[in-house]
Amino acid sequence: MAKIRSIGPWSVMKLFAVLYAMLGFLIGAVISLISVLGFMGGTAAGEEGSWAFLFGTAAIVIAPIFYGCIGAVGGLIMSLLYNVAAGIAGGLEINLE
């Protein structure tokens, strides 16, 4: 049985930044799809000047950046908190084969 007594905050921060950026890309893609469908529906109904298409295009760029930053900060904070808690409780026990 091995114990994880501490983890590197910067490595967790990088990992969480990438994972959350990928999540942000998926969320941005869904928002973009919904916005494009709304834009097409508005165009078919005769409405002009719809910003839905621009909003959808921006979501696919802004969401991964936003989620990546939030994930990096969250990962850094959680890894620091884990290191403090592991110092008190002794860390996680894992079974390696």
Predicted confidence (pLDDT) per residue in 16-33, tens digit: 999 999 999 999 999 888
Helix (H) or strand (E) holding 95: none
Q: State yes or no: pLDDT of 71 exceeds 80.
A: yes
* Domain regions of the chain by residue span: 2-94
Residues 81 and 96: their CA atoms lie apart, in Å, by: 24
What are the phi and psi torsion angles at 17 (to 5°)?
-60, -45
Predicted confidence (pLDDT) per residue in 37-59, tens digit: 777 666 655 666 566 667 777 88
Quote the strand ranges of the chain, DSSP E: 2-4, 92-94
pLDDT (average), residues 57-77: 93
